[in-house]
């Protein structure tokens, strides 16, 4: 899973033009994989290629996309965050409690529950980062543990109950459609742009790449690496909370199980999209493509009528193929 990059690739291709073509291919491979998958499913079942189905894929992708974008920031830094399931559950449940306590409809003060959820997500991320940096615990372990704490906490405050959010205004995230797509798809797209802005136009975004590309170098250049990492975890936490809000919007229920499955889907999406687990390579757009690949596969397999027991296996194989196609093995000296 972890790989070491050589700073100066010793295996430069003999023909520079060949190298450029290869580089472009690797860069665009995830998108190619996505297009091939869409073409494949469309060929097997023409109904796959309908606007209504794309809206369905959009609905299932939106919450996962937010979570995957959050973890992308952390992975870009060469760390990993596995707290998403707990963070999503806690944010969803606290949002639901605050929402109902403040009036139960977006038309009242209850809209304040939206920023509350984001702050809760960021706080959990902050604690993650603090444990990782101050206690010097690997991010893998710190965040996994925090994820469990989150799930436990969500269970504690709900007592195992599910909380229904029935407000028509909030549920319009799902029920109201503009140009065939529900509002939640547009919210997700808007946040993709926000994330892209953070990644490419802010100092913080550049620092993520600096830390992921070479932590010692970044440190030697005077960058407060610990601070950048904590900021990264906070940002990730806030995006998990957005994912939680969309997940609640999608089914109208907040519960401890709201966070289920997000870990597998988001990490898989990030990796399939071509963002390297060792940091410094990839970004938001890779993740967008990755999430779409995973959701197109999930949707497509049911649409073409593959039996359930084959689906998991096919998804696993496709993940390997996608990662194989989208990783530039030339820049990696060894993988362990």
Question: Rule CB under 8 A: which residues touch another protein?
Answer: 45, 47-48, 50, 52-53, 56, 59-60, 151, 155, 159-162, 164, 174-175, 182, 247, 250-253, 256-258, 260-261, 264, 298-299, 302-305, 308-309, 312, 315-316
230 vs 247, which CB is nearer to another protein? Answer: 247
| Shortest CB 313 distance to another protein, Å | 9
| Shortest CB 265 distance to another protein, Å | 8
Structure tokens at 136: 């010097």
**Among 329, 331, 327, 332, which residue's Cα sits nearest to residue 29?**
327
Q: Tokens 């601070």, residue?
A: 227
182 vs 273, which CB is nearer to another protein? Answer: 182
| Shortest CB 59 distance to another protein, Å | 6
| Shortest CB 123 distance to another protein, Å | 22
| Shortest CB 38 distance to another protein, Å | 13
DSSP percent split of the chain into helix, strand, coil, nearest 5: 75, 5, 20
Residue 255 three-state SS: coil
15 vs 50, which CB is nearer to another protein? Answer: 50
Looking at 113-263, which runs of residues are DSSP E strands? 163-164, 177-178, 181-182, 253-254
Say if CB 260 and CB 244 are below 8 A apart: no
Gap between the Cα atoms of 247 and 10, Å rounded: 46
228 vs 293, which CB is nearer to another protein? Answer: 293
Alpha helices (H) along 77-167: 84-101, 113-134, 139-158
309 vs 334, which CB is nearer to another protein? Answer: 309
Say if CB 163 and CB 253 are below 8 A apart: yes
5 vs 56, which CB is nearer to another protein? Answer: 56
**Among 100, 288, 296, 102, which residue's Cα sits nearest to residue 195?**
288
12 vs 302, which CB is nearer to another protein? Answer: 302
Q: CA distances (Å), 299 to each of 37, 122, 169, 296, 332, in order? A: 11, 31, 28, 5, 33
| Shortest CB 292 distance to another protein, Å | 14
| Shortest CB 160 distance to another protein, Å | 4
CB atoms within 10 A of CB 150: 28
| Shortest CB 177 distance to another protein, Å | 9
Pair type for strands 332-335 and 3-5: antiparallel
Say if CB 114 and CB 226 are below 8 A apart: no
Name the CA dihedral angle for 232, 237, 240, 245, rounded to a multiple of 10 degrees.
Answer: -140
| Shortest CB 132 distance to another protein, Å | 22
36 sits in which H/E element: helix 16-44
104 vs 226, which CB is nearer to another protein? Answer: 104
9 vs 172, which CB is nearer to another protein? Answer: 172
């Amino acid at each position: 899973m972890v790989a070491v990059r050589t700073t100066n690739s010793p295996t430069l291709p003999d023909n520079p033009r060949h190298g450029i073509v290869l580089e472009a291919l690797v860069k665009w491979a995830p998108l190619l994989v996505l297009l091939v998958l869409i073409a494949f499913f469309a060929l097997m079942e023409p109904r796959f290629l309908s606007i209504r189905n794309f809206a369905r894929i959009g609905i299932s992708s939106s919450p996962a996309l937010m979570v995957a974008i959050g973890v992308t920031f952390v992975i870009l830094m060469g760390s990993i965050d596995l707290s998403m399931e707990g963070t999503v559950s806690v944010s969803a449940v606290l949002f639901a409690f605050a929402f109902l306590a403040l009036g139960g409809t977006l038309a009242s003060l209850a809209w304040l529950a939206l920023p509350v959820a984001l702050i809760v997500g960021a706080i959990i991320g902050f604690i993650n980062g603090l444990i990782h940096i101050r206690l010097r615990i690997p991010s893998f372990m710190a965040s996994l543990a925090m994820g469990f704490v989150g799930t436990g906490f969500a269970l504690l405050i709900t007592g195992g109950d599910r909380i229904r959010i029935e407000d028509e205004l909030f549920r319009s995230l799902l029920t109201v459609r503009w140009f065939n797509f529900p509002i939640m798809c547009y919210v997700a797209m808007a946040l993709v742009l926000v994330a892209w802005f953070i990644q490419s136009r802010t100092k913080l975004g550049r620092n993520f790449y600096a830390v992921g590309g070479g932590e010692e170098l970044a440190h030697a250049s005077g960058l407060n690496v610990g601070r950048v990492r904590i900021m990264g975890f906070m940002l990730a936490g806030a995006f998990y909370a957005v994912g939680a809000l969309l997940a609640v919007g999608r089914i109208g229920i907040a519960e401890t199980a709201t966070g289920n499955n997000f870990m597998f889907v988001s990490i898989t999406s990030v990796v399939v999209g071509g963002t390297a687990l060792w940091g410094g390579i990839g970004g938001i757009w890779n993740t967008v493509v990755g999430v779409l690949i995973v959701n197109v596969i999930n949707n497509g397999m049911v649409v073409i009528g593959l039996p359930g027991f084959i689906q998991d296996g096919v998804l696993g194989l496709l993940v390997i193929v996608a990662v194989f196609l989208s990783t530039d093995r030339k820049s990696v000296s060894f993988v362990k």
